[in-house]
Amino acid sequence: MTAFTVALVLVVAAAGLLRWRRPAWYWMTFGVTLASLRVLVRYASVMDACGLTVPPPRWRLALARIANRPVPDSRPPRILRFRPTRTGLVLRLGLRPGQDAFDVAAASDRLRHSFSMYGVTSREVRSGVVEVRMTGYDVLKRVQMPAKVDTRPMRVPVALREDGSVHYRDYRAVPHALTLGATESGKSVYQRNLVAGLAPMDVALVGIDCKQGVELFPLARRFSALADNPDTAADLLDALVSRMEGVYQLIRAEQRITSAVPDAEIAADIWDLPDDIRPVPVVVLVDEVAELALFASKEEEKRRDRIITALVRLAQLGRAAGIYLEICGQRFGSELGKGITMLRAQLTARTAHRVNDETSANMAFGDISPDAVLAAIQIPAETRGLAIAGDSTGGWHRIRAPHTSLRQAVNTCNRHADRTPALPELAPFRPELVSSSEALVPLSKTAPVTA
Ligand SMILES: Nc1ncnc2c1ncn2[C@@H]1O[C@H](COP(=O)(O)OP(=O)(O)OP(=O)(O)O)[C@@H](O)[C@H]1O
Ligand SMILES: [Mg+2]
């Protein structure tokens, strides 16, 4: 008996310790079983208390009256599927007549408290079926990406969503993206995760980093072209535009369309070409975009116009030629001059890290979703890397990328350096590579700045 009590105390203490220090481990060991039991046992009464039940149908009431049986209870939505996951529970519910997905969404906070879960979100799967995702702990506090993710070409698992699912950056579905956030909010870490995710894929990476290259130059071995100042950036973007025109000529030649057809009307893209002649897709990463749009003299103004025009052309026509833009900045509004709002309209995927004012959040979500604007302003300053990711459909999620250090990203890029394609049009911008012993010197100097 004493041995049993000691063992019980030890187990409870271990569970308490795990729950406090390692919530993910606690969930996998004890949490998932306890939460499953709690949800299944209390399901009917919680649904009733949360106003998610409907009265029995008339025929059952009539049958009960005829048979002189007690009046049947109100019925909660049917559980179609119950699935424990690495971070929580997923319930698929079949709605009863008269219920809608909004009822479940509106009750999600009540469900969260009633089932003692950390978070509850719901979405409609199809007519009459709603999926309720519950998380057992704060999955964004210490982001751990699942070991098994759904990998496809040009689709990077870049962050974790608050409901425990993986947030993908899918270049073929949403070609261009804008990432905003105040200084020290986590933009460069997010971009670093993207680079590390893209490194093992068949893709050319092009970087423009006007912070003197401190973020992207350490990753140079996986980059086909890099620019660290606006002058080089202007030439690099012009070279990309000519590459895009070259790719269109190739597609047109393959389609055997007359040369009188303007570029924008070509319906096909590089993915329709046979594998052996398909040009390699290019992802252009721009960090601190405002630096490209600022000018102090007439000369610089001309350069700025050249840069913005090239970016707008790439954003408008680049997708079919396999050129994708990934733009990061602190603000990206009309105060940066003409052409900026036009460029922003082409950047479909929006991500906002912590912003200091509503105007900055509006630059990301003002034209998409007012709720997302509010959520972006409410991100606390201490949880760096937390962001709101939205898309043009009006949907948005709270996401956080794993904290990939510069050293980890450098290692990933170096491991896949042999995949770096040499693009002839961008040859003048190919970064000069130094030997690894030399590379350690600048890296060790920049590491503390970004860590
Ligand atoms: N996903 C994350 N998880 C944990 N910590 C993070 C995350 N993202 C960023 N941080 C922390 O925040 C710091 C600043 O991040 P980062 O350099 O990406 O900011 P930034 O928005 O690019 O800032 P700036 O505009 O000054 O370049 C990082 O050094 C890191 O310590
Ligand atoms: Mg940065």
Closest residue by Cα to atom 24, ligand 1, is: 183
Q: If DSSP states are collapsed to H, E and C, what string results for 268-323? A: CCHHHCCCCCCCCCEEEEEECCHHHHCCCCHHHHHHHHHHHHHHHHHHHHCHHHCE
Same domain as 382, residue 258 = yes
Q: Is 451 in the pocket of ligand 1 (CB under 6 A)?
A: yes
Which pLDDT does position 170 carry in this prediction? 93
pLDDT tens-digit map of 387-431: 999 865 668 899 999 999 999 999 999 999 999 998 888 888 988
Same domain as 208, residue 129 = no
Q: Is 42 in the pocket of ligand 1 (CB under 6 A)?
A: no
Alpha-carbon distance values, 79 to 60, 88, 126, 127, 273 (Å): 20, 16, 15, 15, 46
Same domain as 193, residue 65 = no
Q: Is 401 in the pocket of ligand 1 (CB under 6 A)?
A: yes
Which pLDDT does position 77 carry in this prediction? 95
Please check whether residue 143 lies inside any domain of the structure.
Answer: no
Same domain as 244, residue 280 = yes
Between CA 295 and CA 311 the distance in angstroms is 17
Please check whether residue 42 lies inside any domain of the structure.
Answer: yes
* Phi, psi (deg, nearest 5) at residue 69: -105, 160
Annotated ligand binding at 186? The verdict is: yes
Over residues 146-170, the mean pLDDT reads 90
Percent pLDDT > 70 in the chain is 92
Annotated ligand binding at 184? The verdict is: yes
Please check whether residue 204 lies inside any domain of the structure.
Answer: yes
pLDDT tens-digit map of 54-101: 998 888 889 989 988 888 888 999 999 999 999 999 999 999 999 999
| 370-377 helix and 358-365 helix, angle to the nearest 10 degrees | 140
Which pLDDT does position 402 carry in this prediction? 95
Question: Would you say 398 and 375 are in contact if contact means Cβ atoms under 8 Å apart?
Answer: yes
Q: Is 189 in the pocket of ligand 1 (CB under 6 A)?
A: yes
Q: Which atom of ligand 1 is nearest to the CA of 186?
A: 18
Q: Give the CB-side neighbour count of residue 119, counting CA atoms within 13 A.
A: 17
* pLDDT-derived band at 449, boundaries 50, 70, 90: very low
**pLDDT beyond 50 at 1:** yes
Averaged pLDDT score across all residues of the chain: 88
Domain with 245 in it: 155-450
Amino acid type, 331: R
Which pLDDT does position 262 carry in this prediction? 61
Q: Which CATH number goes with the domain that contains 46? A: 3.30.980
Give the global pTM: 0.85
Q: Which CATH number goes with the domain that contains 295? A: 3.40.50.300
Q: Which atom of ligand 1 is nearest to the CA of 450?
A: 29
Which pLDDT does position 309 carry in this prediction? 94
Over residues 112-141, the mean pLDDT reads 93
pLDDT tens-digit map of 322-338: 999 999 999 888 888 88
Q: Which two tokens stand for residue 320?
A: 């079919």
